[in-house]
Amino acid sequence: MSDRNITVLALGALPKAWGGGATHGLATGIFDLVDAINSLHMNVAAVLCAPDYRKKIGCIGATTVIGTSWSVLCAHAANHPLRTLRYAGLALLFRWVFGMTPLSTFGRFLLYDYAFGKVKPDYVSAHTPGRAILAMYLSGIDRRRIIVRVHGIAGMDPNIRQAPAVRRQERFCARQRFAAVTHISSMDRKQWQHYYGKWQCRNEVILNGFRNEIFNANGTHPTNPATTQQKDHAVQGSYRLHLATVASLKPHKGQLLVIRALAAIDHKEKFQYICIGEGQPDYRKRLLHEAHQNDVDLKMLGYLSQKDIATILKQVDFMILPSSSEGFGKVFLESIACGTPVIIPRTLPLAQETGILNDVNAIFLESIRIDDIRAVLGALRKPVSSRKDVAGTVVGLTWERAARAYVALISSVDKTAMPHAST
């Protein structure tokens, strides 16, 4: 491992709860990893560059964040007119080649260029292939100084609206020789190799994690939660069951499938379904409409901070997410860490990882077909294991573990790098 101090510029997003504008789980995954790296106080320090952060610079947690200040970017553009014209041309070109939005791409180019000049990093950590492509075309950067983190293969999910454009970005990145690539699950790497072939550079699997200071079973009842609940008199001889989904409101996340499955159950009145997350307004209206039409008890909570999500997870009986695709699905880990078992499709990457999910912390869906979801929900009973026992099954899968693995990778890459790539 390299002993020298290494600075990394992470290209990502900042969650809304931390002052950014991102409401998706990807943003929290990026920030949590970067912040965990900085919290280690080892030889690697990371600066996060987040276009959705509307400040020039800030310190959040243990992390310095560079955001969008239009006055700064305009001055930067004026100081580098030829470079700015080049980025404008690339932004237009990438609209046709990669399906990127020109104005957004141009703004990101300017911000990344400004941040790169200010931080002068040893390496750039690009979260997603799209950001990796922009990093490749920054002035003065060698792609052998770029470390890519792949958060799933969205380009192969037909349920995702931008899949064709993302697929072009993924295919292009697959042919590049970066410093290193990390995948967030073993299945993610296998699928990448299946669709795009093997990487031309070092690649490893570093699983996502959870914030154990937020997602834990502290404050939950230590015994079987079924013994502490009041009976729901609307359903004779049964207890009311509370389900939650924590995800962006998008069709491929499967909230509508849960509502339709509940609508088909004989005793649907014994369920309350809670949706946490923001997303597509038309999809939200559709969820509310179908729930109302079918007398499904639906509660929409919108975007919540991680602390508020943890509070809800500690109160519900199961977290269900019948998504058609996930790179990892860290919300499953977060739920289990709170002592709440999950209902998860067998096809998702986390369900394929060895030694994480079991009969104590998970119920498996054979598919995301409504009939399969209905069959599981129709037979559902209160969890048998205590919340402490459920939480104990993932005790070591924290962001600190992931951060240590990431630091080890960067240090190893730096030690074997060519001289001009590590100076």
Q: Which of 134-143, 199-208, 224-233 has the lowest mean pLDDT?
A: 224-233
Amino acid at 53: Y
pLDDT for res 140: 86
* Mean pLDDT along residues 141-169: 91
pLDDT for res 156: 87
For the stretch 79-105, pLDDT in tens is 999 999 999 999 999 999 999 999 999
* Mean pLDDT along residues 235-247: 74
pLDDT for res 79: 97
Report all structural domains of the chain as residue ranges with CATH numbers, in order of start: 6-209+399-421 (3.40.50.2000), 225-394 (3.40.50.2000)
Tokens of 253: 């996340």
Q: Is the pLDDT at 244 greater than 90, yes or no?
A: yes
User: Which regions of 295-357 does DSSP assign to beta strands (E)?
Assistant: 298-302, 318-320, 342-345
For the stretch 375-405, pLDDT in tens is 999 999 999 999 999 999 999 999 999 999 9
Tell me the pLDDT band of 77, cut-offs 50, 70 and 90. Answer: very high
**Dist CA 411 CA 409 (whole Å):** 5
pLDDT for res 267: 86
Tell me the pLDDT band of 1, cut-offs 50, 70 and 90. Answer: low
Helices (H), ranges, 279-369: 281-293, 306-313, 330-337, 349-352
Tell me the pLDDT band of 219, cut-offs 50, 70 and 90. Answer: confident
pTM assigned to the model: 0.90
Q: Is the pLDDT at 225 greater than 50, yes or no?
A: no
For the stretch 27-62, pLDDT in tens is 999 999 999 999 999 999 999 999 999 999 999 999
Tokens of 363: 């119920």
